Amino acid sequence: MWNHIRILTLLAVLGEGLTACAQTEADRRSQPAEVISEKCIDKESSAQSVAAITRYSHLYDDPHVATVLGVEGGSIWFLKEDEPVLALHVAQSLGLSNREWIPVEIYQNDRDAKIYRHQRIRARLFRTISWGLDGLAVLKLEEPFQGARPLVIRAEPLEPGEKIITPAYPGGFLELTTGYFLGNDFTLSNERKEGSYAIEIDGNRLALDVGASGAPVLDCAGQVVAAVSAQFYLVSENGLAEATRRGEKTNVAIPVTILSEPYQASRQ
């Protein structure tokens, strides 16, 4: 078995033999009970805080089309109704810039059709913040997205073993996942040693796949702490993707405190 990582829009395999997070299931069970058993917001409520973004396609003009496969895109969340946040590599794949308005499709939908909102909006880059090999981008929309539910950024760092909820749009459809924060991870770091958050999701460990990049990682109070950047998986001798082992990270996420004014001031 080889450990692989992929940035969740570009499908690029960046390396082999990457060392998995050393946190074990036993380590997680050793955390204080009140941390792991903390009552969280329900997953359905968290769904209102995320949307999908893709390049505009004329196929979206058909009201019966929920999503268009094969179009570059990712997941977004909102600082304001007209300021979504997404992973930097997603913004780059969409060809967005700070010089011109580009049409994009922003939507919310799930497989049970409980949520269905589509809106074609022109967008441009408002600001970008690099972090390790990726980063975050804040867009400015020409008009607000009608389903936007702005999130509050949590200032305090997560504690190992703390429960998380991650609503995302892998494959263009809403996926609600729960899991745990494992610790800091430096796999996608650079010479500045800018660490990401290692997370482990429950259930389908490969759920946060292509299209999940940028999705908000929420704490139990519904505050956003990070944005999904990449997925870790194993490749068997047959070349098939398999989930990492229990107690190992499934994804890494970028801490969203890099969007705060104090952090921005510290980099100047």
Q: What local confidence, expressed as pLDDT, does residue 77 receive?
A: 97
Same-domain pairing of 155 and 250: yes
CATH of residue 80's domain is 2.40.10
Q: Pick the last residue of a domain from 71, 106, 141.
A: 141
Asked whether residue 146 is domain-assigned, the answer is no
Spell out a b/e string for 122-136, using b for 16 or more CB atoms within 10 Å of the CB, else e: ebebbeebbbbbbbb
Q: Which amino acid is at 116?
A: Y
Per-residue pLDDT of the chain (268 residues; tens, 9 = 90+): 445 555 554 332 222 233 333 333 334 333 333 333 457 777 777 888 899 999 888 887 887 777 777 678 999 999 999 999 999 999 999 999 999 999 999 999 876 657 788 999 999 999 999 998 899 999 999 999 998 899 999 999 899 999 999 999 998 889 999 999 999 998 877 767 788 999 999 999 999 998 999 999 999 999 999 999 999 988 888 887 888 889 999 999 999 999 987 666 565 5
Asked whether residue 234 is domain-assigned, the answer is yes
Same-domain pairing of 208 and 170: yes
Asked whether residue 38 is domain-assigned, the answer is yes
Bridging pattern class, strands 102-109 and 51-55: antiparallel
Count: domains in the chain: 2
CATH of residue 9's domain is 2.40.10.10
Same-domain pairing of 230 and 97: no
Q: What local confidence, expressed as pLDDT, does residue 40 receive?
A: 76
Asked whether residue 163 is domain-assigned, the answer is yes
Q: What local confidence, expressed as pLDDT, does residue 238 receive?
A: 82
Asked whether residue 75 is domain-assigned, the answer is yes
Same-domain pairing of 28 and 64: no
Residue with tokens 């505050």: 223
> Mind giving me the DSSP string for the chain?
-EEEEEETTT--B--SSPPPP---HHHHHTS-HHHHT-----HHHHGGG-EEEEE--GGGGSTT----TTS-EEEEEEEETTEEEEEHHHHHHTT--SSS-EEEEEEEE-TTSS-EEEEEEEEEEEEEEEETTEEEEEEEESS--TT----PBP-SPPPTT-EEEEEE-GGGS-EEEEEEEEEEE-TT--TT---EEEEEESSSTT-S-TT-TTPEEE-TTS-EEEEEEEEEEEE-TTS-EEPPPTTS-SEEEEEGGGGSHHHHHHT-
Q: Pick the last residue of a domain from 141, 168, 186.
A: 141
Same-domain pairing of 113 and 36: no
If phi over 0 gives left and psi between -120 and 50 gives alpha, with beta otherwise, what is residue 183?
A: left
Question: Which residues are registered as beta bridge partners of 100?
Answer: none
pTM, entire model = 0.82
Same-domain pairing of 261 and 155: yes
Asked whether residue 168 is domain-assigned, the answer is yes
Q: What local confidence, expressed as pLDDT, does residue 42 receive?
A: 74
Same-domain pairing of 8 and 63: no
* Cα 210 from Cα 12, distance rounded (Å): 10
Q: Pick the last residue of a domain from 119, 141, 163.
A: 141
Same-domain pairing of 127 and 260: no
* Cα 264 from Cα 268, distance rounded (Å): 7
Q: What local confidence, expressed as pLDDT, does residue 1 receive?
A: 43
Same-domain pairing of 92 and 163: no
Asked whether residue 218 is domain-assigned, the answer is yes
Provide the domain limits for residue 68.
50-141
User: How far, CA to CA in Å, does 227 sit from each of 43, 144, 257?
Assistant: 17, 21, 10
Same-domain pairing of 181 and 217: yes
Same-domain pairing of 27 and 92: no
Q: What local confidence, expressed as pLDDT, does residue 121 receive?
A: 96
Same-domain pairing of 135 and 183: no
